[in-house]
Amino acid sequence: MIEKLNSVRPDNWGEIDKVLSDIKQNPSFFESLDKTEFLNKMSKGFAFWTFDFGIDGVSVEISKYAQCLEEILSNEKKVTVHFIAGDFHPQADSVIRPDWHRFHISRANGWSKWDNGKWFEKLFYQDMTENSKKSKTVAAEIWSQAVRLAKIMGDYLAENEISLLIPVNVNSNPGNLATGLCTVLVSELMGIYVINSNHDFYWEDGKPASERETGEKPGSRDKFFRNIGNRPFFSLLKKIYPWDGRRWIQANINKLQSKNLINKFGFPENHVFEILTSISDAFFKDYTKDEIKSVRLRMAHILSNGKPIIHPVSVDYCLSNVEKWMNNQKPFVCAREEGLSLDLTSENIFYFLQPTRIIKRKRIWRDLELISALLHHRPFLEKFESNKKQQIVFHITGPVPIEHQVDLETVLKTFIQVTSEESDLISNRLFLAFSVGIEEHPCFKDREFEQLGIEDIYKLASIVLFPSETEGRGLPILESSAAGIPIICSHYKPEEIFNDVVGKGLSEEQQLLYTRFPEGDFSVSFLDEVSDLLFFPENNIDRIEHNKNATRLRYGCDNMHETFKRYLDELTNTI
C-alpha cells in the first residue's frame, strides 16, 4: 500500500478520482477463501472506525455490533475487538469495554472538530470554483491527509492482523473527507473486508438550492451541495460516499436508505443490507420502587458532583456561562433561581426524560413548551397545586456537540420563558437537568454504587419525550418501550422510517403503542392523555406489557446475530 501511495502525486480532484479508479480496476490483492478459512481470518480481530466515540446513539449501536460480532467469531481463541477514531470522549467508557482495544488517530475527527473546522469550512461553506487555485490547493491537502491517515491505519491493521473493518458514518456522511478517502485506500490496497455501516447519508435532508421548490425550507445538509458546480470535486464526493468496493457491503439502518443505494446509485442488491438494532435483556427487566430510588440516587450524585441532594444553579447563570461550559461539559441542574433543593428520590417528582444529545433536529425546546402547556391545563394544574411537594424534572441525558451550542442556548432561553410565566410557587418546582452522557461519579466507589447503564437511565423516567423532526431510526422509541416507560414522540421524517420503527402494517402484537407529540398547539385531549399518564400510571400497565412484548419479538439479540451472519456469508463470496 505504501509503495503505491508514494508513487502517485495527484494535485486536483480529477486526478484523485483517476487514482481511485485505477486502484479499483487493477486490484493488487487477490484472495480466495472457503467459509472456514474466511471465518478463521476474521476471528483474529476486527475494527470499528469512526470520527469519535462518546455516548451518542451511534456509539451505543457500535457497542452492540461489537458484542454481536465478538460472539459470532469467538472460538477457542478469544476474538480481539478494536476501536479506531479521531477522538475518544470520557463518556465512551460507558459503551467501550475495558478489554476492547482503542487506537486514536489525530486529525481524524469530523465537522468542526476536524482541524477546528478549517477544511470542512473550505469544502462546504465556501465557494470552491472548478479548476481554481483554491480547489487544487484543498484537493492536494485532502490527499496528503488521507495518505497520512492510511499509513497510520494500515500499520495498525497489519500489526494486529485485522482483516475486517467496520467504518461507521465515515463513508456516508462527509464530516472529514480525508477519513473517507483513507478508508477507500486502506481497504482496496490491503485487501481489507469492509462492512460499511451507514447511519446517515449526506443527501438525507439535503439538496442543491437549484432543486428546491419555491417556499421549500432549506435542509439541514444542504451545505454538502455548496460546491456541486465543481464537477470533479462533487464526482469524487459521490464516489466515496459510499464507496462501492470489491470487498465492501453496505449496512444501512433503514430500508429507505437501501432503496436509494440500489435504485438511485446503482449498488448491487447482494451488497446492500439493513442492520437491525437490538435491545438487550437488561431493558426488559421489571424493576421495583427501591430499584428506581437507587437509580435516582446515583443520578443525583452525578448531577450534584457527589452529593445526594441537588442544589441547582440559576438558569440565568448557566446561560451567561454557556460558552465556557461547552469546553468542559459537566453535569448540572438549573432552576429559576438559586437557593432551591431537589431530592431525586422523592416520590413526588414527575420525571420527563429526553434521552438524546442536544441538536437542532431533536427540537428539545418543544418538551418545555409541553410542560408549560400542562401547567396551563386546569385539570393538571389543580392536581399539581394541591400537592405542594410535587416537582417537575426535565432531564436531557446527552452531551452538546460543539457546533450545537446555539441549540443549548435555545433550551435554556425556553426554560427561562416558561418559568417567568409562572408564579414563584410553581416555577420554583421546575428543574432542568443535564447529565451530558455521564453515568458514574468518583464517589461511587466509596459509596459502593454500581455504575449506571443505559437501561438504568430509562428507569429514572415517568415519561420519555422525543419530538424529533427527522431520524435515521429512532432508538428511544424502542428503548423506552422495552423499559416499560410511556413515550410521547413526533411522527418524524422520513415517514417510512417512523412507520417501520413503530411497526405500522405489522400484526397488532408487533406494533408499538405511543402518544403522538403534536406539531402545533397542544389540544385539550392530548393534555388530558399526558396528565393521565402522569397521575394514574397504574392505568397504563396493559400498554407497558404490550410494548415490552412487541419490542422483544422484533428486536431481541438473536435478530442482530442472524443479520451479521448474513453479512459474513456475503463477504465470503467477495474476491
165-224 per-position pLDDT tens digit: 999 999 999 999 999 999 999 999 999 999 999 999 999 989 998 898 888 888 889 999
On average, the pLDDT of the chain sits at 93
| pLDDT (tens digit per residue) in 96-147 | 999 999 999 999 999 999 999 999 999 999 999 999 999 999 999 999 999 9
The predicted structure's pLDDT at residue 575 = 58
- pLDDT greater than 80 at residue 495: yes
pLDDT score of 94: 82
Residue ranges of the alpha helices (H) in 310-468? Answer: 315-320, 322-326, 365-375, 378-386, 405-420, 424-427, 443-447, 454-459
H/E stretch holding 84: strand 81-85
**Residue from 460, 457, 462 nearest 475 by CA:** 457
Q: Give me the torsion for CA of 375, 380, 381, 383, rounded to 10°.
A: -150
Residue 49: the pLDDT is 97
Most confident of 24-28, 385-389, 555-559: 385-389
What is the Cα–Cα distance from 93 to 54, expressed in whole angstroms? 8
Q: Which residue has the cell 454538502?
A: 224
pLDDT band with cut points at 50, 70 and 90 for residue 30: low
Instruction: Please state the separation of Cα 207 from the chain's center in Å.
Output: 22
- At 273-283, the pLDDT tens digits run 998 888 988 89
- CA proximity to 118, closest of 179, 50, 54, 176: 176
207 neighbors 96 (Cβ within 8 angstroms): no
pLDDT reported for residue 55? 78
Q: Pick from 281, 287, 198, 288: which is nearest to 551 by CA?
A: 281
Give the chain's end-to-end CA distance (angstroms, integer). 18
**pLDDT, mean of residues 259-286:** 92
- At residue 76, the pLDDT reads 55
Task: For residue 42, give the DSSP letter.
Answer: H
Q: Which residue has the cell 442482530?
A: 560
Establish how many alpha carbons lie within 13 A of residue 482's alpha carbon, considering only the half-sphere containing its beta carbon: 26
Measured distance CA(107)–CA(120) in Å, rounded = 12
Q: Which DSSP letter does residue 537 get?
A: G
Mean pLDDT of the region 550-558: 88
Instruction: Answer for the pair 260, 201: CB distance below 8 angstroms, yes or no.
Output: yes
* Rounded CA separation 483/461 (Å): 10
Q: Is 116 exposed, middle or buried (0-12, 13-18, 19+ CB in 10 A)?
A: exposed
User: What is the tens place of the pLDDT at every residue in 503-513?
Assistant: 999 999 999 99
Extract the C-alpha cell encoding 150: 492510511
Q: Which domains does the chain have, with CATH numbers?
A: 2-66+75-272+568-572 (3.40.50), 281-555 (3.40.50.2000)
Q: Which of 277, 293, 305 is nearest to 438 (CA)?
A: 305
Reply yes or no on whether the pLDDT at 81 is more than 90.
Answer: yes
The predicted-structure confidence for 506-553, as pLDDT tens digits, reads as follows 999 999 999 999 999 999 999 999 999 999 999 999 999 999 999 999
Out of 73-87, 410-424, 482-496, least confident range: 73-87
Query: Each residue of 338-374: pLDDT tens digit?
Result: 999 999 999 999 999 999 999 999 999 999 999 999 9
Strand locations in 233-360 (E): 248-252, 272-274, 313-314, 332-335, 349-354
Region 252-268: mean pLDDT is 94
